[in-house]
A = this chain, B = another copy of it.
């Protein structure tokens, strides 16, 4: 091989690596109405787009209002796999619990785990890095008197166990929200600190979630 040929090969390799390095990590945020609103101006995904380098991260919202874990399962081919993401952040659980009381169509504990596992299995089979989140809140009262606190704690624990079992990164928003509210919600209000309506994020909530997410997204895994 001549020196010139070697040099060309070297340049080509460097170029390919550079191109490869230039391709940003594609992240799909897969969730419910909280994530649907996350792409709005000031939403947590919108904030992440501003705080994370655009040449390194392509952030895509895939949230639909009212979604439970099995809605994610039913639409994951079209809404997630078709986008060929590198990373998927799953944030679900509020409706699985809430719809028990508000519609009679919440998700059974064992079925929640089974469908969650099925979603992860399909993502892993496509070599996608998966990050899990616990459902943050249905009510911000800090003395465990929000109606769904017990059930949300239960489903959050399911997700922590699933993360551990599959060795996946976790954004423990349930824990983080409670700690934040214990400090900042001294009047034991049920909304208005991180949420507008006990569930959906206000400005502080979107900022807080963006920060929690960014920490885990940028951590080596």
Contact = CB atoms under 8 A, between A and B. Distances in A.
Contact of A144 (B103, B114, B144): B144
A20 interface: no
A105 B106 contact: yes
Contacts of A108: 103, 105
A105 B114 contact: no
A140 to B, nearest CB: 12
- Indicate how many identical chains form the complex: 4
A104 interface: yes
Interface in A92-116: 99-108, 111, 114-115
Nearest to A108: B105
Nearest to A152: B150
A184 interface: no
Contacts of A157: 143, 145
Contact of A147 (B71, B74, B102, B150): B150
